[in-house]
Amino acid sequence: MYAIAAGVAFLLELAALAALGYWGSTTGGGAWPVVLGIATPLAAAVLWGTFASPRARVPLATVPKLMVRLGVLLGAAVALAVAGRRTLALVLAVTVVVDQAVLMALGRPVAGAEP
């Protein structure tokens, strides 16, 4: 069961990057959509790799790491809603919350981390 929940968590991470890129590409005019479409998911990936990944460069305790992870994932859902994709935003947010609840029930609240 853990492998499925961790796999879903990974897919949610990819979906969050795509959602942030979509939001960025629909924001503003001129060159801003291109800049934000690239910079927003890139910034999220750097934040994730630094603080939230299983092999993060800056080790955090479980709760702060969990807060960073949920902040990025649920922030991507908010970005989708702001970009006008409310149904997708709701699906993403609900899936994030359910997957996180499953991971917590399995005793491994941060997917990929050692138990």
Mean pLDDT of the 86-114 span:
91
Task: Please determine, for residue 113, whether its predicted confidence score (pLDDT) is greater than 70.
Answer: no
Residue holding tokens 């649920």? 74
Q: Please state the domain extents for the chain.
A: 2-105
pTM: 0.91
φ/ψ of residue 24, rounded to 5: -60, -40
Task: Please determine, for residue 115, whether its predicted confidence score (pLDDT) is greater than 60.
Answer: no
Mean pLDDT of the 77-105 span:
97
Please check whether residue 80 is in contact with residue 54, taking contact to mean a CB–CB distance below 8 angstroms: no
The string of pLDDT tens digits covering residues 28-68 is 888 899 999 999 999 999 999 999 998 899 989 999 999 99
